[in-house]
Amino acid sequence: MVITLIGYRGSGKTTVARHLASRLGMPWIDSDDLIEQRAGCSIQDIFARDGEAGFRRMESDVIRELTGRESLVLATGGGAVLSETNRQRLKQAGPVVWLQASVQNLVARIGQDSRTAGRRPSLTGRSVTEEVSAVLESRRKFYEDAATFTVSTDGRSTEDVAEQICRLLEQEPGR
């Protein structure tokens, strides 16, 4: 079973994946980290070199590979759900958890993440708040389509979020 965490950048996918995997005794992978490792450069550099389309092709290849694993907690990039094929693969591989956070919290977390500025390109050229608000709204339908469960991360510890996901997984039919 692959348990996938989706959501906007800064929603806590990587941090929660690490805790959830530890709690469940499963390996975990951040798909963006794997893409950067294989490309030998940052996502921002991939966007500059190959454009968003080139990055999305790499992302789809990695998701195809990772969703074929037997046991994995997968933290995806925020835009992985834009592809219908990716959404279907994620759902077929196992439960998909949409980690939600308010625009204010996402902006604050993005601002506190020293790694994100050099790794992620601006998608709109707007201020961070305007970009997060606009892009989150444009992706909402894709997150909703892919999600088995939705969990808010606002004002909650990583451990609390991972615990809630474990409780939801226990309630999942066939688990």
Question: What Rg do the C-alpha atoms of the chain give, in angstroms?
Answer: 15
Residue 137, pLDDT score: 94
Residue 120, pLDDT score: 57
Residue 172, pLDDT score: 75
Mean pLDDT per 10-residue run, the chain (175 residues)?
A: 95 96 97 96 93 96 97 96 98 97 91 63 71 93 97 96 96 69
For the chain, the helix, strand and coil percentages under 3-state DSSP, each to the nearest 5: 60, 10, 30
d(CA 4, CA 90): 7
Residue 175, pLDDT score: 54
The CATH number of the domain holding residue 87 is 3.40.50.300
What's the total number of domains in the chain?
1
Residue 40, pLDDT score: 96
d(CA 146, CA 66): 16
Range of the domain at 27: 2-171
DSSP code at position 175: -
